[in-house]
């Protein structure tokens, strides 16, 4: 960029001698209000039609949102009709309050009252901008002028509300000094106090004062200072519910909401996945799940986040990015080796220790808690390491490779990712495993075998192995005795060219493939030069799987010697 930054007016932080919010903690969920169907909707290329709004409304209800701004009924036919459809169609559960927005203008207020007729619980939300900038360029007035706009509207709304209340409506009021973040705090408190008076607010009839960052213009800590200052300056603070309505122009909407809750706010207006004007409103999902991962009940249900994402994408025609917190396609996926290693170890730790806490590095939330347990946590590309390949073998196929084998198999996988230049799917990783270990059946092959078990006069059990082996075109008989099948087999091949190895280690477990269960044996042998070689045998017979594993190791050593 060349020049130009000089033309911007920097935000001037408040001077505060003392601030309480930095020492506070978030211990409970705020009152949530969804503004998806209003602020979110007014920012779409194609605003939602009635059917889409209805589906979205029911999704919000299912999530557990109890206050839902359903639209701006005086703005258009669709907005008005949607409000009527909700009320007349009986779509609003008894414990849900609908909220409607209107400018502080008489004809629009009248139309809005018509739109809510017959509703049980309503928040009547009106606004006018109070900021220095909008006073100057939009309203051409001073603080007294914007205060008068607000108070006139409040008085009119209060008067009109009385007949609705008398008819049984539970009607509450909300006032937004729009562009609050650009308003002097003394002016904001003075205007809001006058609105509270005009609405006859008291502790039994608290009015929602909604303090928006209509356009986010400062760092979250500065805004939290504004909230704390405003609350101190507001006469009769206990008559108000302090609400936030953060936007995200600087990408700090979530932080702004969190710090401002510390500063004394009690309610947050937000949208799913942060849809809304320009860069969006603050994201309700992120705010709620941030609380959840700090051990606080968010009082919203995101246990099927993918379903919610589908509704969102269908109704808004917006796409959720792969890195979007908690919901993006890639947010639970590790491609890089050290992350995979730690996830693998964390998973193993949790399995072995049965820890009651979530203690897996690089995963701030259990994917199962948002219904994403069936998606791959670890995906393999050229940035991946041995732990990743082992994790895929375990998670996708049930093969629990011994740790000593991880480096060798990791190298095999790494070579393939480099050759392909792309991500390897789990199936390809299994194929590499099969090609390299299970299918290492040449040159030595076991054609026939039998085991006999006998107990000697001292009661010691001995196993005798007899079998036929093939080496390319030659077949030969072998037999031997040992204290178990592996020992007997090793003794049987003693004296053959295959006996240049010592037995180092062995591990066996069952793998089930649907109704079929197989034994898999991992064998570690050491050759005369001290090099370790691994083999894997798979068979229905648990005595045979290790023998196949031994032959796999011997064949792999032979292949390495003869084929390089």
Ligand X SMILES: CC(C)C(=O)C(=O)O
Ligand Y SMILES: CC(=O)SCCNC(=O)CCNC(=O)[C@H](O)C(C)(C)COP(=O)(O)OP(=O)(O)OC[C@H]1O[C@@H](n2cnc3c(N)ncnc32)[C@H](O)[C@@H]1OP(=O)(O)O
Task: Kindly list the residues in this chain that would bind ligand X in the complex (CB under 6 A).
Answer: 39, 101, 127, 176, 178, 210, 212, 214, 245, 247
Binding window for ligand Y (CB under 6 A); candidates: 97-105, 226-234, 294-302, 473-481: 97-105
Closer CB to ligand Y, 128 or 491, in the complex: 128
Write down the least CB distance from residue 126 to ligand X, Å: 9
Write down the least CB distance from residue 109 to ligand Y, Å: 10
Would you call 418 helix, strand, or coil by DSSP?
helix
Task: Give the separation between CA 268 and CA 136, rounded to whole angstroms.
Answer: 29
Write down the least CB distance from residue 181 to ligand Y, Å: 12
Residue 82 near which of ligand Y, ligand X, none (CB within 5-8 Å, type-dependent) = none
- Name residues contacting ligand Y, limited to 236-295 (CB under 6 A): 277
Please, are residues 257 and 268 in contact by the beta-carbon 8 Å criterion? yes
Residue 72 near which of ligand X, ligand Y, none (CB within 5-8 Å, type-dependent) = ligand Y
Angle in degrees, CA 333, 319, 361, rounded to 5: 20
Q: Which of 96, 104, 284, 429 binds ligand Y (CB under 6 A)?
A: 104
Q: Which of 72, 82, 302, 501 binds ligand Y (CB under 6 A)?
A: 72
Closer CB to ligand X, 121 or 247, in the complex: 247
* DSSP states along 291-327: HHTTT---SS--TTHHHHHHHHHHHH-----TTSTTT
Residues facing 67 on adjacent strands: 33, 97
Please, are residues 504 and 487 in contact by the beta-carbon 8 Å criterion? no
Q: Which of 34, 97, 99, 128 binds ligand Y (CB under 6 A)?
A: 128
Question: What x-and-dash track marks residues 207-246 binding ligand Y by CB under 6 A?
Answer: -------x--------------------------------
> Is residue 139 a contact residue for ligand Y (CB under 6 A)?
yes
Would you call 263 helix, strand, or coil by DSSP?
coil
Residue 103 near which of ligand Y, ligand X, none (CB within 5-8 Å, type-dependent) = ligand Y
Write down the least CB distance from residue 276 to ligand X, Å: 8
Write down the least CB distance from residue 137 to ligand Y, Å: 10
Task: Give the separation between CA 287 and CA 298, rounded to whole angstroms.
Answer: 9
Closer CB to ligand X, 43 or 446, in the complex: 43
- Name residues contacting ligand Y, limited to 160-189 (CB under 6 A): 178
The candidate with the shortest Cα–Cα distance to 52, out of 19, 88, 24, 79, is 79
Residue 420 near which of ligand Y, ligand X, none (CB within 5-8 Å, type-dependent) = none
Please, are residues 230 and 189 in contact by the beta-carbon 8 Å criterion? yes
Residue 245 near which of ligand Y, ligand X, none (CB within 5-8 Å, type-dependent) = ligand X
- Name residues contacting ligand Y, limited to 299-338 (CB under 6 A): none
Task: Give the separation between CA 83 and CA 99, rounded to whole angstroms.
Answer: 10
Closer CB to ligand Y, 271 or 344, in the complex: 271
Task: Give the separation between CA 16 and CA 528, rounded to whole angstroms.
Answer: 77
Please, are residues 502 and 495 in contact by the beta-carbon 8 Å criterion? no
Please, are residues 358 and 393 in contact by the beta-carbon 8 Å criterion? no
Residues facing 121 on adjacent strands: 170
**Residue located via tokens 């930054």:** 5
Task: Give the separation between CA 289 and CA 281, rounded to whole angstroms.
Answer: 16
Residue 175 near which of ligand X, ligand Y, none (CB within 5-8 Å, type-dependent) = none
Query: Could you tell me how many helices (H) and strands (E) the chain has, helices first?
Result: 16, 14
Residue 105 near which of ligand X, ligand Y, none (CB within 5-8 Å, type-dependent) = ligand Y
Residue 349 near which of ligand Y, ligand X, none (CB within 5-8 Å, type-dependent) = none
Please, are residues 227 and 180 in contact by the beta-carbon 8 Å criterion? no
Residue 138 near which of ligand Y, ligand X, none (CB within 5-8 Å, type-dependent) = ligand Y
> Is residue 111 a contact residue for ligand Y (CB under 6 A)?
no
Residue 395 DSSP label: H
Task: Dig out the tokens for 65 from the structure.
Answer: 């949102």
> Is residue 138 a contact residue for ligand Y (CB under 6 A)?
yes
Q: Which of 14, 31, 42, 160 binds ligand Y (CB under 6 A)?
A: 42
Binding window for ligand Y (CB under 6 A); candidates: 69-77, 280-288, 329-337, 450-458: 69-77
Closer CB to ligand X, 246 or 298, in the complex: 246
Phi, psi for 483 (deg, rounded to 5): -85, 5
Closer CB to ligand X, 52 or 216, in the complex: 216
Closer CB to ligand X, 195 or 488, in the complex: 195
List the beta strands (DSSP E) in 247-376: 267-270
Closer CB to ligand Y, 281 or 324, in the complex: 281
Closer CB to ligand X, 210 or 344, in the complex: 210
Burial environment of residue 380 by CB neighbours within 10 A (0 to 12, 13 to 18, 19 or more): buried
Write down the least CB distance from residue 326 to ligand X, Å: 24
Sheet holding 532-539, edge to edge: 502-513, 516-526, 532-539
Angle in degrees, CA 67, 73, 79, rounded to 5: 95
Burial environment of residue 277 by CB neighbours within 10 A (0 to 12, 13 to 18, 19 or more): middle
Closer CB to ligand X, 33 or 389, in the complex: 33
Burial environment of residue 505 by CB neighbours within 10 A (0 to 12, 13 to 18, 19 or more): middle
Closer CB to ligand Y, 282 or 389, in the complex: 282
Write down the least CB distance from residue 75 to ligand Y, Å: 3
Sites of contact with ligand Y (CB under 6 A):
39, 42, 72, 74-76, 103-105, 108, 127-128, 138-139, 149, 178, 214, 277
């Amino acid at each position: 960029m060349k020049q130009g930054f000089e033309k911007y007016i920097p935000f001037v932080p408040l001077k505060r001698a003392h601030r309480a919010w930095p020492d506070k903690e978030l211990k409970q969920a705020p009152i949530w209000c969804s503004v998806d169907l209003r602020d979110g909707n007014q920012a779409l290329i194609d605003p939602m039609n009635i059917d889409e709004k209805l589906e979205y409304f029911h999704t919000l209800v299912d999530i557990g949102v109890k206050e839902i701004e359903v639209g701006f009924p005086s703005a258009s036919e669709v907005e008005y009709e949607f409000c009527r459809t909700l009320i007349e169609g009986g779509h609003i559960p008894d414990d849900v309050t609908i909220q409607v927005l209107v400018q502080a203008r008489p004809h629009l207020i009248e139309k809005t009252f018509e739109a809510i007729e017959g509703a049980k619980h309503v928040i009547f939300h009106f606004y006018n901008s109070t900021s220095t900038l909008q006073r100057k360029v939009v309203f051409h007035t001073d603080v007294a002028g914007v205060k008068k706009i607000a108070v006139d509207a409040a008085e009119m709304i209060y008067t009109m509300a009385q007949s609705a209340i008398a008819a049984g409506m539970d009607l509450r009021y909300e006032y937004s000094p729009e562009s609050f973040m650009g308003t002097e705090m003394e002016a904001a408190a003075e205007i809001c106090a006058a609105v509270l008076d005009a609405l006859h607010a008291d502790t039994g009839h608290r009015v929602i004062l909604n303090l928006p960052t209509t356009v986010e213009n400062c760092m979250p800590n500065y805004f939290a200072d504004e909230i704390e200052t405003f609350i101190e300056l507001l006469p009769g603070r206990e008559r108000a519910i302090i609400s936030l309505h953060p936007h995200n122009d600087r990408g700090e909407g979530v932080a702004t909401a969190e710090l401002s809750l510390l500063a004394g706010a009690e309610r947050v207006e937000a949208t799913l996945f942060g849809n809304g004007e320009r860069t969006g409103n603050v994201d309700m999902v992120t705010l709620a799940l941030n609380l959840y991962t700090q051990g606080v009940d968010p009082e919203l249900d995101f246990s099927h986040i993918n379903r919610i994402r589908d509704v969102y994408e269908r109704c808004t025609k917006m796409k959720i990015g792969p890195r979007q917190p908690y919901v993006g396609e890639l947010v639970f996926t590790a491609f890089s080796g050290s992350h995979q290693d730690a996830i693998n170890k964390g998973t193993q730790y949790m399995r072995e220790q049965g820890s009651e806490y979530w203690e897996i590095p690089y995963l701030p939330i259990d994917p199962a808690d948002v219904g994403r347990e069936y998606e791959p946590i670890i995906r393999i590309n050229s940035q991946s390491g041995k732990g990743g390949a082992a994790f895929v073998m375990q998670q996708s196929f049930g093969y629990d490779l011994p740790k000593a084998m991880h480096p060798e198999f990791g190298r095999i996988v790494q070579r393939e990712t480099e050759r392909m230049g792309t991500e390897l799917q789990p199936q390809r990783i299994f194929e590499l495993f099969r090609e390299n270990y299970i299918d290492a059946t040449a040159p030595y092959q076991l054609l026939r075998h039998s085991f006999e078990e006998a107990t000697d006069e001292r009661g010691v059990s001995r196993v005798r192995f007899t079998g036929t082996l093939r080496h390319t075109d030659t077949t030969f008989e072998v037999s031997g005795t040992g204290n178990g099948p592996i020992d007997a087999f090793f003794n049987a091949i003693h004296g053959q060219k295959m006996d240049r190895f010592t037995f180092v280690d062995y591990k066996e477990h069952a793998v089930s493939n649907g109704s079929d269960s197989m034994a898999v044996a991992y064998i570690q042998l050491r050759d005369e030069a001290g090099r370790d070689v691994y083999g894997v045998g798979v068979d229905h017979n648990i005595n045979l799987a290790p023998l196949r594993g031994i032959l796999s190791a011997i064949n792999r050593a032979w292949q390495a010697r003869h084929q390089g």
